[in-house]
Structure 1
Amino acid sequence: MSAVPHSVTDDVLVSFRGVKKTYDGSHLVVKQLDLDIRRGEFLTLLGPSGSGKTTCLMMLAGFEFPTGGEIRLDGRLLNRVPPHQRNIGMVFQNYALFPHLTVAQNVGYPLSVRGIKGSAAERQVLEALGMVHMDKFGKRYPGQLSGGQQQRIALARALVFKPQLVLMDEPLGALDKQLREHMQIELKALHRQLGMTFVYVTHDQNEALTMSDRVAVFDQGVIQQLAPVGALYETPDNLFVAGFIGDSNQLRGQIATAQGEGCVLALPGGQQVQGRPVGPAAAGRAATASIRPERMRLVAPDAPVAGSRLQGQAAGVIYFGDHVRLQCAFEQQAQCFVKVPLGTPALARIATGDPVTLEFDPEHLRVYA
């Protein structure tokens, strides 16, 4: 992945260049990482367990040191700088609050480490608590707070000394679903309000899509794709990203013809569908195509053709409130599903085993040879 040197642009706050990390001397947890983090952006590092995203964050925070390469913050080399000298705020999943200190004392702790005391410290603590709507809780202890309130205090502590950068390691992982979704909205609003640079680690793709300006998708120590959320969802670079971000259906076959931005994929059983190739595509090559469930339409077999078509059988219907998920079976393919709005005429009286006709625009079927 190409990256812009720090000297060329002023909007880069953090720069990773050729960064590697190994714990045992042989297995690289992070491989040759090149990454620029822009000032004021909300960047999420997303990936499964063991993909290298948390190690990347810990090297930036200073809790781990890179085996090779350089990490710079605003041009300053960080490789051997201890955490408390980096001007970086950190929010952990387990909150890491001191149980014997009050809320105000917890939030003020980073200030005392930096030699800020007295009325100046009190003013900054009140300001930070106000940012997270906890200014009336200063005299309480962490044990008297709910999980969501403790997470707000941990966030206030990370913001109190006005760092250049705020790092968050799965900070909402311990919260229940409803509170987690509420906090996602609040975090995004706080980011807009403060204009700080946020770097967020999660394995939750919905969380990443909800909050981020850009997302770096990690797998096996490598960034598979770095892009704004819309581009990541609509135009994944490879099958891993297509399968990890959102829902996707996959069709396996062989490229029959390829020309320019279009190709024809021949499926087992004789059906052919049109799609858009990603990377080099040549007739005769095995390929796997990916398409989002909402990009496929259930149509009547006799309806006018308005795209590429696929014939299969209904394998089940799952009710989701505002839509149903129609499971479909195709010859020698993994089962796929289509999001069908309630009230779609072709959905009426469909039973398991009935023939179904699906239609989609070829530009939404991405073919990976």
Structure 2
Amino acid sequence: MIRPSSIVPPASNLSVLTDRSREIFRQLVDSYLTTGEPVGSRQLSRLLPMTLSPASVRNIMQDLEELGLIYSPHTSAGRLPTELGLRFFVDSLLQIGDLEEKERARIAAEVEAASKDHDLEGVLSEATSLLSGLARVAGVVVASKENVRLKQIDFVRLEPERALAILVADDGTVENRVIPVSRDLPASALIEAANYLNARITGRTLAEAREGIEASRRAAERELDELTARLVEAGYASWAGASAESRQLIVRGQAHLLEDLTAATDLERVRLLFADLETKTEVIDLLERAEQGEGVRIFIGSENKLFSLSGSSMIAAPLRDSERRIIGALGVIGPTRLNYARIVPMVDYTAKVVARVVRG
């Protein structure tokens, strides 16, 4: 059984793992998921794509153990991943496979056939049976919770135009959603957006958080309009550019602003508002993408509050109605040593087919 880890290192500690440490950890988890057995340093040294002695591997494994990613079930045994380690692997290192065309065809055909003979409940029952047979674990349908309230949100860049939104709910469950982002969006913007949201999002749903930030942005825009109008009317500034998107505020006679403290204060406030509006706009855009983002929920071990089974994992994908609202989730439950790379796309595709059939 995977041991829950009481050590929760900050994300910054995990992000500074060397490529060598990540590769050793990835090989260890891959081996565990295949065999279910502890993995030793000598075995890992043979699996690694680089030449590394068992002694060097042991030193790195000690570092990984201190981070809470792996542990030793016995004094002289190899190492196993902790729940925290599996979570880190799934979020950061897992290479998702793809379904074969014949598997896609079978899933689509069986779900569509079920929809002709059954109501929604029957379709879901058939789909879970299908998933159970394909994945060789138990299928499960989860009723949607009423607007899950959040505790934390983080964004991780996966590729130049894709990022992972990691949503942590009040009850401790974690949902990952892959979202599109601009190639030009700097990594620092994702960190700043997460920090901004985490100071404001606790106890709120994504929709409530977005509504609150949008209201704040509208108020800032009204204040900005009033201040810039006052500066323009006083002759200290003018607008350049034709469209609203390209307009720039040109400030003139800045030396005279020192003589007019009110105008100087207004100008400083304008600068702050411009910066604040830019931040809010980026945050709202990321929230909208996170709300619509596709994703599979993966509960590992004791994260699985629904069943309270510390030795199990559940993989579920959302079912959405025609208005993109989540109405439930379809997935599988099995041991923590699941073939995540194969089952994640299987669950995701099946849920999409079911949702398409449900929407008609």
TM-score, reference length from structure 1? 0.25
TM-score, reference length from structure 2? 0.25
Which has the larger strand fraction?
1
